[in-house]
Amino acid sequence: MKHRATVLCLRANRILLVARSNGRWALPGGRCKAGELESAAAVRELLEETQLAGVTLQYIFEFWGVRTRHYVFAARIPDDVEPIPSNEISRCRWVRAKDVQSSWVSVSTRGIVQILLEETSPVGPARRSSPLRVF
């Protein structure tokens, strides 16, 4: 099973998506290197893909895909800071969370954002308090 650090970048009810040229939209992130902490991989991948540096990340949950275990982190991005696609990423865009479900996104991105929407809903799941409420 692959281990991936995934970052939910949030700004005013919008989520940052990234894509390779002609690829599906996805949340920023990537594989953890051997011996690398998931939090370090999240910081590294976010910087490599978007040039966003000095961003505070908060671990929020794990998401298990078919072949990948996602360690999901959240980051609040200030309005005056813009991502710049770099490395293998050719496009960045901000989308409303509710529009992710109808966008051309990876299956894991759709699942992770669905959890976000359920957790932040006023009638969200009663099973636990949301770690996203701080955002």
Per-residue model confidence as pLDDT tens digits over 29-87: 999 999 999 999 999 999 999 999 999 999 999 999 889 999 999 999 999 999 999 98
What does the pLDDT read at residue 105? 87
pLDDT of residue 123: 45
Lowest mean pLDDT among 58-62, 88-92, 126-130: 126-130
Q: CA torsion, points 96, 8, 109, 83, in degrees to nearest 10? A: 70
Q: What is the pLDDT of residue 118?
A: 81
Range of the domain at 23: 2-134
Reduced DSSP (H G I as helix, E B as strand, rest coil) percent helix, strand, coil of the chain, to 5: 25, 35, 40
Does residue 39 or residue 103 have the better pLDDT? 39
Q: How far apart are CA 48 and CA 36, in angstroms?
A: 16
Rounded Cα distance, 116 and 132, in Å:
8
Tell me, what CATH number does 117's domain have? 3.90.79.10
Average pLDDT of the chain is: 87
Buried b / exposed e over 89-114, threshold 16 CB at 10 Å, is beebebbebeebeeeebbebbbebbe
* Domain total in the chain: 1
Beta bridge pairs of residue 11: 14
Listed residue (72, 42, 44) closest to 132, CA to CA: 72
Give yes or no for residue 131 having a pLDDT over 60: no
What is the reported pTM?
0.86
